[in-house]
Structure 1
């Protein structure tokens, strides 16, 4: 029984560790509804059972000879319940009848996740080919040696097909408008997107506004441009397009949290992120949504909303 207890305890702790690790995040949070809660529960249950079994095996308790058997049964039951219930929590997004290409353009490494991370994940799950373009390393607002890697991590977690991070001057993007236009034009030629997402005209951050203007100029001949909402948009931000993201708010939160260099900023917190999607969901007569302003939208060409 000692060997069995030790083996069951080690197995439980390994399951807890797997759920807590990045692979667990990628598997559970990215693929299951309420994934952050599910992940926390799995870690707590398996860690508690594992520590209990190891403690009982290493510190004999003659007065409770059957505790180990009970805990082993609990481990097996927890594993069985996990296997049985997980399919019911699986995110199931209808596949698009015609997959499209999407290009999302942001000023800084965390902008896209904060503004429309849930929408990007949902579009990926529907089968669309989603690409990201970031204009700066965010050197003024954080550590430029870390932030590009965090952008790659966030994009990988969301499932984006590609992310390109340029190193134009943070807080001074307006001074490099022609370079930005060139980068965006190159991306449009390469990706041939059916829809372009970018910052709003109603954004008081100078870099966000500069990217908006550069996008309009680079995509002057493009038929479908939507502008997303960032924490620095003004009261004039007036969305007319919404995408329901009920199953994707936890995914958005986890993608934002991948930007650990920015973790001290209040708009990066789960409560702020979820309250925003809940507010926009209420406007859209749904539970959670992300909001966009349409510069123009040729519906029969986009096929992604």
Structure 2
């Protein structure tokens, strides 16, 4: 088992999402854990969302990471590939206005959803010197694949993540896939893979190891 440690110094995290709730579903536990580090800061950018969904995402961001800087590009849901230039511009504007991050969380570049996939493809062209962890989102498409990096989670963090999802995203609870069994089951499976009770998993394509 290879473990990657971010060290003990200040940490700046960037979280990128195509839609409100992507970050909390995929890596809410990881964000909760990282937010407890002294001096750690976070900036989130969500590409799409109605005003109501944006309000949900702002509340969720404040719960997983109090004080996080949450921003929204307000592009149309499901249409990001045809707005390639606008997406690229939004990512660069977001990056240029903030400190260089130590860690970037973004969708997988092979995600079946076109909005997720585009952000996953573009992220490493914008942030070239940060560790990029590509997160996974369970969905109808059945696109879960092999992962290469894990963040173990304890029971308390898992339950806190589930509470935030239900409390902050009432517009989504009617979906047949939205329940604790879905989210907790995936975290349990990824925990098995890294010898932990629970975990969130990521694809890590490139990293520099300071040995």
Q: Report the secondary structure of 2:205's partner residue.
A: strand
Show the counterpart of 1:171: 78
- Contact 2:111/2:143 (<8 A) preserved: no
Q: Find the structure with the greater CA-based Rg.
A: 1
1:223, CA displacement in angstroms? Answer: 3.9
Match of 2:112 among 191, 195, 204: 204
Name the structure, 1 or 2, with higher relative contact order (CA <8 Å, separation 6+): 2
Partner of 2:4: none
Residue of structure 2 in register with 1:7 after alignment: none
Q: Work out the CA distance in 2 between the residues paired with 1:272 and 1:236.
A: 13
Determine whether 1:243 maps to 2:168. no
Question: In the alignment, which residue of structure 2 is the partner of 1:87?
Answer: none
SS of the residue aligned with 2:101? Answer: coil
Q: Is the Cα–Cα contact under 8 Å of residues 226 and 296 in structure 1 kept in the other structure?
A: no
Structure 1 gaps of 5+ residues are: 1-95, 138-143, 301-305
CA displacement at 1:236 relative to structure 2 = 6.0
The CA distance in 2 between the partners of 1:212 and 1:234, in whole Å, is: 17
What's the TM-score once normalised by structure 2's chain length?
0.87
1:1-305 paired onto structure 2 within 5 Å: 97-127=8-38, 128-137=40-49, 144-160=50-66, 161-189=68-96, 190-219=98-127, 221-232=128-139, 234-235=142-143, 237-246=145-154, 247-257=156-166, 258-300=168-210
Separation of aligned partners in 1, 2:48 and 2:143? 26
Separation in 1, partners of 2:116, 2:175 = 18
Q: CA 1:222 to 1:97, structure 2 compared with 1: closer, same or farther past 3 Å? A: closer
Q: Name the count of aligned residue pairs.
A: 199
Which has the larger helix fraction? Answer: 1
- CA separation in 2, counterparts of 1:226 and 1:174? 21
- The question of whether the paired residues in 1 share the 8 Å contact of 2:104 and 2:130 is answered with no
Is the contact made by 2:106 and 2:134 (CA closer than 8 Å) also made in structure 1?
yes
Give the TM-score normalised by structure 1. 0.61
1:267: how far off? 3.0
Structure with the largest fraction of strand: 2
Distance in 1 between the 2:106 and 2:189 partners?
21
Q: CA RMSD in A?
A: 1.9
In 1: Cα distance, 2:112 partner to 2:24 partner:
19
Structure 1 stretches of 4+ moved >6 Å: none
